[in-house]
Amino acid sequence: MATIGDVARVAGVSRSTASYALSGKRAISEDVRRRVKDAVRELGYTPNAGARALATSQTMVIGLLAQFLEDEFAPAMLQYMLGVSNTARELGYDILLSTEADGRNALRRMTDSRMVDGIVLLNVAEDDDRLPILRDAPQPGALVGLPADCSGVEVFDLDFEEAGRTMVEHLHRLGHRELVLVSQPEHVVERGGAYVWRLQNAALAEARARGITLHAVFGPAQQPEVGRALHGLLDAHPDATGLLINNEAAAAALPTVLHERRLTAPADLSVVGRYSDEFARTFSLPYSSIESAPDRLGRMAVRELVRRIEGQVGPDEPHVVRFVSPELVDRGSTGAPRGD
């Protein structure tokens, strides 16, 4: 493989001149620049990434820690990954991916050995055990998901409180007075998925403020349990006219359940979910939903991370905690309650 030394020799200049001609970091005569470029083409030269990283202490690589936790919906994670990966590439960075169950190990390896310039953490828990390691690392970090302690890292998340309020408000305005909310399984919450609480508590508060009833339950995340759970719920609350779904598996199972019960949305039941548009398309879900914007969150996290990496924002400047406002995507699954 050709080195910068080969390029220099062929171009008849010194290695430093060859390097500068390629980086443009100092003035180079037109003649020399041309000879260097020609040599590069002739030799098919590409800089050795490891050598460059060693010299510059920049790897142009971002570490991406994805976690595929049991009972969480793997396909949903993919959208975040793609948002991160594609944005990184646009900004000139490659992605070092870890899918290890033990994220702490992967994180330590990547940061300690200087394989990456920065880190993106996905699926962040309330009390995420990767955070202390990330804070101690010399590289900056960005999270998708809101932990209890946001110090030292950039944080991006959907505004789940607002999402909960929006769902309740939307159905209340349509005339609904009794609603059911199906959240993720309780052990997702216990593991640190505080977003489940955030949405649910805000929804409950909003319902209370509006004087309407909201039955909030945790649903399973697996088939066929989640289908049975949905049947049980609809049996238990025959007067409920609106269904709120903050549980991807439940959303995916709902069409079958409604068919089995001979129910149609919105004629018999109004339905609002919380998932991404991409998810809705993949699963052919016909329900209006709060867009969870995974690609947008991934993009934002990488953009801010790169600003940190490249020093466009100083190390003393405060870290960002940014919430994406939920948007309701209308797919026509809500309307006036039946009997109205």
Is 23 a binder of a second copy (CB under 8 A)? no
Contact 141, 134 (CB under 8 A): yes
Q: Name which of residues 112 to 131 contact a second copy (CB under 8 A).
A: 112-115
Indicate which of DNA, a second copy, none lies near residue 5 (CB less than 5 to 8 Å, by partner kind).
DNA
- Tokens 């505080």 correspond to 194
Select from 16, 26, 51, 330 the one that contacts a second copy (CB under 8 A). Answer: 51
Select from 24, 46, 314, 316 the one that contacts a second copy (CB under 8 A). Answer: 46
Contact 156, 144 (CB under 8 A): yes
Pick between residue 3 and residue 222 the one whose CB is nearest to DNA. Answer: 3
Tell me the window of 92-100, 189-197, 293-301, 329-337 that interacts with a second copy (CB under 8 A). Answer: 92-100
Is 271 a binder of a second copy (CB under 8 A)? no
Helix, strand and coil in the chain, % to nearest 5? 45, 15, 40
Contact 302, 62 (CB under 8 A): yes
Query: Who contacts 196 (Cβ-Cβ below 8 Å, separation ≥6)?
Result: 183, 184, 188, 189, 218, 246
- Enumerate binding residues for DNA (CB under 7 A): 1-5, 12-17, 19-20, 22-23, 25-29, 31-32, 45-48, 51-52, 54-57
Is 260 a binder of a second copy (CB under 8 A)? yes
Angstrom distance (rounded) from CA 248 to CA 275: 7
Is 268 a binder of a second copy (CB under 8 A)? no
Query: Who contacts 14 (Cβ-Cβ below 8 Å, separation ≥6)?
Result: 8
Contact 301, 156 (CB under 8 A): yes
CA 115 centroid distance within chain: 22
The residues of the shown chain that bind a second copy, judged by CB under 8 A, are 1, 44, 46-51, 53-54, 59, 61, 64, 68, 73-75, 77-78, 81-82, 85-86, 89, 94-100, 106, 109-110, 112-115, 138, 222-224, 226-227, 249, 252-253, 255-256, 259-260, 281-284
